[in-house]
């Protein structure tokens, strides 16, 4: 999720009313090789995230499930996306947020300018920062989670080694399902919500629900998207689904159906992932709801935040058939 150097959060659509997401600018990789430009080292890297942002949320989940919390530090921005972009705040000011104790920045834009003084695109989260080289390694969430997935395996605790959310034998299937889920669901909710033309909204909203029906069918016979194993594809979808009823259904007008009442298999799947050890603490519904309803004033000028938090994900308890990863 992002802000722009040239424009505000209301400038994300084109003349045809369609929302177009920016391509990430920093695309380097942390690697296991000691001689790599960005080698995997304990304490060297830092994540800048927002609890509100589904793209940043992915990185928090993989960091948790791979046991990387002691190796990669984190800063969490304020939930409110203001005119100057993502801002840091103390936990006393905003519970859950943090100050930037790595670069001392007030806004995430300052981190970008430290890495690239001439940077002119959007200031997105997540950001993976290299403390040694004082630069951004990557601001592409899909690539950051793959770095976290394997690059640090030689230096993490033994119990986390070998956990692989992008296994070789499933890569082709994961890439295929990621492709259409990203376009129509992960990004589809944004293409619906930020559309400024009726035709653009209807096109993207209908495509979104066609994909939700497809996912519901997959999960009618599978525990997870690709069978009994939790993969990257599940984690990427989960961060959208957990926000669906409390935010996207109303705020983004994705209101043909709801997860809680109309998609029992998706709801079961969501509960199962949410109930895995460590996942719940990555979900901050206060930050999520306040961000969307208070930041997007072109959609919600009153900034009133609805009460509904979506379906109860703690109950009933869903027990995996086996350790899913």
Q: Report the distance separating Cα 250 and Cα 261, nearest Å.
A: 15
- Catalytic-role residue among 1, 53, 170, 219: 53
Q: Both tokens of residue 4?
A: 């722009």
The reply to whether 53 belongs to the active site is yes
Q: Report the distance separating Cα 262 and Cα 170, nearest Å.
A: 29
- Strands (E) in the chain, as ranges, are 45-49, 72-76, 127-130, 135-138
Residue pair 296/303 in contact by the 8 Å Cβ criterion: no
Longest dimension (CA), the chain: 53
Q: Show Cβ contacts of residue 285 under 8 Å, excluding neighbours closer than 6 positions.
A: 246, 309, 310
127 burial via Cβ count (<10 Å: 0-12, 13-18, 19+): buried
83 burial via Cβ count (<10 Å: 0-12, 13-18, 19+): exposed
As a whole number of Å, the end-to-end CA separation of the chain is: 28
- The residues annotated as belonging to the active site are 53
């Amino acid at each position: 999720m992002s802000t722009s150097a040239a424009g505000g959060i209301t400038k994300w659509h084109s003349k045809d009313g369609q929302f177009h997401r920016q391509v990430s600018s920093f695309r380097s990789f942390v690697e296991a090789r000691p001689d790599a430009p960005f080698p995997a080292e304990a304490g060297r890297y830092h994540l800048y995230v927002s609890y509100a942002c589904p793209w940043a949320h992915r990185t928090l989940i993989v960091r948790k499930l791979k046991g990387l919390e002691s190796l990669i530090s984190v800063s969490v921005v304020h939930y409110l996306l203001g005119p100057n972009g993502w801002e840091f705040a103390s936990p006393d000011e905003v519970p859950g947020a943090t100050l930037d104790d790595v670069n001392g920045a007030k806004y995430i834009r300052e981190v970008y300018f430290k890495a690239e003084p001439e940077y002119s695109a959007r200031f997105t989260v997540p950001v993976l920062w290299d403390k040694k080289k004082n630069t951004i390694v990557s601001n592409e969430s899909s690539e950051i989670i793959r770095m976290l997935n394997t690059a640090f395996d030689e230096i993490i605790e033994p119990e986390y080694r070998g956990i692989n959310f992008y296994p070789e034998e499933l890569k082709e299937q994961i890439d295929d399902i990621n492709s259409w889920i990203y376009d129509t669901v992960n990004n589809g909710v944004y293409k619906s919500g930020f559309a400024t033309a009726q035709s653009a909204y209807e096109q993207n909203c209908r495509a979104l629900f066609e994909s939700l029906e497809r996912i519901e069918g997959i999960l009618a016979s599978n525990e997870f998207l690709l069978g009994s194993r939790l993969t990257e594809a599940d984690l990427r979808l989960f961060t959208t689904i957990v926000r669906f009823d409390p935010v996207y259904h109303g705020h983004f007008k994705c209101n043909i159906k709801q997860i809680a009442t109309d998609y029992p298999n998706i709801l079961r799947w969501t509960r199962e992932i949410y109930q895995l050890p460590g996942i719940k603490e990555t979900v901050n519904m206060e930050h999520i709801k306040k961000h969307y309803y208070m930041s997007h004033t072109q959609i919600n000028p009153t900034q009133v935040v609805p009460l509904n938090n979506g379906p109860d994900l703690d109950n009933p308890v869903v027990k995996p058939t086996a350790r899913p990863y």
